[in-house]
Structure 1
C-alpha cells in the first residue's frame, strides 16, 4: 500500500513529482490498463478512486490511481470519512493512490488527520518572492541536479531574474547546463546573463524607478512587462518584496541597529554585504515614504486578487501614485 497526498500552489514542482511517482509505479507496457486519473467533474470522484484503488492491476507493474484536485482536506462528510477510514488501510500493496490539491489542508478536520496518519503528505508551495535565502537554496539544489556550478554573484543574478517561478528556474538552468557542456568550473554573471530571460529583473528595475519617482519610465516598464506576458500579480509580488525589505532596513537603521548580520536576517538578505549599497540607496528615502508605499501596494494586490480589477488600469494608477510619493521635492519634506 502506497498512499500520497500532494498539495500546494507550485504547479510545476507538483506536476514533476506526480510524473515521477507515475513513472516509478507503472510498467510502460501496461500503463494504459493500470492508470486511472479521476477528476472532480466525475460522479462521486472519491468513491470512484477508492474503488479503483482496491482493484488489482493487470499484467506487470502496479496500479496508479490519481484523484485530482480533491477537497476532502477542506470539507468531508461523515459518510465519506467513514468510507475513507474503512478503505485506506485496506488498499492493497499493488496500488499507489495519489490525492492532489492546490489548497492547504485544514488541520482541524478528521479527514486531514486521517491522511496524515495513512498517507505520505508533501507540500509543493511557491516560496514568497521576498524570502531570498530560501530562493537561493532552491536554486542551488536544482543546479546540482543539472551538474552545474555558479558563482555566488551568478546565483544572485539568477534568483533576481526568475524570482519564485520554478518552471522558469528549471528552464534557465537547463539552458545553462547545455551551454556549459560539462564544464566543471563555476560560471559567472557575465557568462549566464545573456542566456536568461529577465522579466523579474525588469520588475526590479521598475521598483528602482518608482523609488526615483520617475513616472514616465515606470509606466514604460509596466507596459514592457505586460507585453512579455508577465502576470500582474507576479509584478506586484516583486514590488511588495522589494519595498518590504527596504522598510525593514530603514526601521532598523532608525532604531540605531548597526550590526549588518542582524539587519540582513530581519530583511531576508542572504549576503549582509549588500547592505552597503542598500544604505546608500535609502539615504534619500524616508521611513514615512516607505510606510505609505506598502498600503498602496497591498491595496493593488487585493484589487487584482479579490476584486477582479482591470490589470493595466490598476497597475498604471498605483504606479503613478507610488512615483508621486517618491518624487523628489525641493521645497517640501518627505
Structure 2
C-alpha cells in the first residue's frame, strides 16, 4: 500500500515535468500541424497517466479527485490539445470498473494499450434526444449524432451514451471505426484543432449487447451531473498557470490560487459559478499575456496567440446553461442587454 501511495503522490510531479519538458516546447508544432503525435500520448501512457482513474487491481492508480485535478491542470498548462485528448479517456476506466467488461478491458485501458473517447452529453440533454438506442435481440441499434467527440484519430473505442423510449441511458463501448453506419466528420475549430474532434453520425449502427457498460435512468444521471463539472475547470487553471509563467503577472498568480480554492470547495450548486470564474480568469489571463507580450502576440504561432485562442475555446467547452449564464453575467452581458438565452449569432 505504501508503494501505491508513492506512485500516486509522484504522479503530479511527473505530469508537471512532462508538461514543461515535452508538451509546452512542442505545443506550437502540434498546433501548426493540427495533430497530436502518437508518441506524445505514448509518453503519457508510459508515465501511468492513462491509468489515473483506474483500479489498482488492474494496474491503475485509483487517484483521488484532487490528484486528478492537479494532473489535468499540469497537462493543460503544457499543451491543451494533448490534455484534451487524454482527459476524455479518464471517464472510461472509472465506468468500466465493476461492469461485465472489466476483465476484458480494464488492464489495457489503465496501461493505455486501449485508448478511449466519450460521447456522453448528447444523449443526456433534454429533448430532442440526440442519440437513441433500441434493443433488438443481442444488439443495441443506435441512431443519431454526437456533435463533439474528441481524439477520434487516437482512440480505439468510444463510450457512447444512447437513450431509449423509456428514458433509460445505455452506455456502450463502440469501436472507433468508421463504416456504412458510422461516420466521423472532422470539426474545424479555432483552437485545439489537433485534438481530432469530430461529429459522430450513426444510422442503424449495431453494437453487441455484450458491450453494454451500464444502464442508468436519465433522471438519475442528470441528478449526478452537476457534481462532475470540477475536472474540466482544471483545463482553464492550467492555461492561467502557463500565462503567469510566461509573463510577470503576480496578481494573476494570486487569482489563480483563489479560483482553484473556490473550485475545490464548491458543491454541486456552486460549481457552475466556480467553473465560470475559472473560464473568465483564463480569458483575462490570455489577454494580459497578449498585452504584456506586445505586438509579437498577434504573430501566428506565438505562444500568446495560441493561448488566446485556447482561452476562447475554454469559454464554451464543457458548458451548461448555468455556467453560461454565470459567464455572461461575469463578462458584462447584463449591462449590454445580452441574455443567457441568446448570443450575438442568435443561437
> Which is richer in strand?
2
Question: What interval of TM-score do these two structures reach, taking the shorter chain for normalisation?
Answer: under 0.3
TM-score computed with the length of structure 1 as normaliser: 0.25
Q: Flag the structure with larger Rg.
A: 1
